[in-house]
Amino acid sequence: MASIGTCLFLFAVICVAAGNSKNDFVTVNCDAEIVGMVGHQSLLNCSLQLSAEVSDVNIRVVRWSKKGRKLPVMVYYEGKWNKAPGYDVAESSWNEKSSNLSMLITSTSVTDDGEYTCTVVTDSGRSEGSTSLRVRAKYSPPEVHSIPEKIIENQDSSLICETGGGYPEGKIRWLDVHDKDWTASSEMEAKQTDDGLFQLSSKLLLKRGSTFDEYKCVVYNARGSKEMEVTFKPSPEKQKGPETHNPTHYVAPLVVIGSLAVGLLLLLVLCRRRQTQLARRPSTRPLMNNPQEVPTQDYDVEKGDDQKTDQ
Ligand SMILES: *[C@@H]1O[C@H](CO)[C@@H](O)[C@H](O)[C@H]1NC(C)=O
Ligand SMILES: *[C@@H]1O[C@H](CO)[C@@H](O)[C@H](O)[C@H]1NC(C)=O
């Protein structure tokens, strides 16, 4: 009986020892997944948790590495931090007793997307935790134009909707005034720019004679939620009658009419002035004491004109 008890006791000791050698008295806890926006800071949040048996540990090594990258992005070893550019310790006052192991990516880019591991070695054992960084970027407001610029009746045409600067790859959908989906009549192309962001361009084919007054281009992100939309009114080309859709077409005649009206008004004012002057002259002349005043005035005006032409 005693030997069985001893065996159980030994077994328990071995189990605990095995557990400790694997996990010791420390655990690294990380957020499972975090979302980072391109161009902004990302905090990969991890902390060191101590088991009840230990109250005080000293950190010897911290290593932050990214899956698929040979060298670690950040290492603490022999009392010194070695950091790749763009990576930093989140806690500014970090020391060997700090439990906050979080890493800060100062300006997130598409290439930062991925899995990260934080390994810690302390004088009470080692542990590691991992976290996923999901990088996102918002698409710019979409812009729509038609080909040709003026939709010609009895001719096929198309609408082009473009957006960019987004990540991951999104989608463009087309809706008409009644929210009927026309995406099946469109073709979308996604291009990745050097910074990894996506440029989306969709072409919607409009069959002759079946064009609506209004179309909506809607941008969806990779998770399938609507990000932005823009309404576009194709401007039809008309043979006769004034154009109402393109402002330049009615602005030009307005300018002509306007300047004609102003010209006529000026002419009218000038004529009236001349008439009143002619009518006044005989009556004002007797009131003036010095008849030379009139020529002086004329001279002054001429002088003014001379000055202008000199400049
Ligand atoms: C980091 O994690 C800690 C503990 O889990 C939490 O209290 C804190 O709010 C987190 N910080 C951020 C910025 O997520
Ligand atoms: C670590 O420090 C950073 C910066 O002060 C803070 O945002 C984060 O929540 C801290 N994380 C934990 C786990 O305490």
CA-nearest of 95, 119, 123, 110 to 46 is 119
Note the pTM of the prediction, 2 decimals: 0.68
Q: What pLDDT is stored for residue 17 in this prediction?
A: 41
Half-sphere exposure of 65 (CA within 13 A, CB side): 12
CA-nearest of 30, 31, 23 to 122 is 23
How far apart CA 77 and CA 99 sit, in angstroms, is 16
Domains of the chain: 4-136 (2.60.40.10), 143-240 (2.60.40.10)
Per-residue model confidence as pLDDT tens digits over 135-156: 999 999 999 999 988 888 788 8
Sheet with strand 87-89: strands edge to edge: 42-44, 103-105, 87-89
Q: Is 303 helix (H, G, I), strand (E, B) or coil?
A: helix
The alpha helices in the chain, defined as continuous H runs, are 2-23, 247-284, 293-310
Q: How confident is the model at residue 277 (pLDDT cuts 50, 70, 90)?
A: low
Task: Please choose from 31, 91, 92, 120 the residue to mutate so as to test ligand 2's pocket, defined by most ligand atoms within 8 A of CB.
Answer: 91
Ligand 1 centroid to Cα of residue 50, in Å, is 17
Task: Please choose from 102, 104, 118 the residue to mutate so as to test ligand 2's pocket, defined by most ligand atoms within 8 A of CB.
Answer: 102
DSSP sequence for 171-240? EEEEEETT--B-GGGEEEEEEE-TTS-EEEEEEEEE-TT---S-EEEEEE-TTS-EEEEEEE-PEEE-SS
Q: Among all ligands shown, which has an atom nearest to the Cα of 90?
A: 2
In the numeric block, which tokens belong to residue 291? Answer: 């008849």
Q: Is 16 helix (H, G, I), strand (E, B) or coil?
A: helix
Phi, psi of 110 (to 5 degrees): -55, -35
Per-residue model confidence as pLDDT tens digits over 27-69: 999 999 999 999 999 999 999 999 999 888 999 999 999 999 9
Q: What pLDDT is stored for residue 149 in this prediction?
A: 86
Q: Is the pLDDT of residue 192 over 60?
A: yes
Half-sphere exposure of 84 (CA within 13 A, CB side): 14
What mean pLDDT comes out for the span 304-310?
40
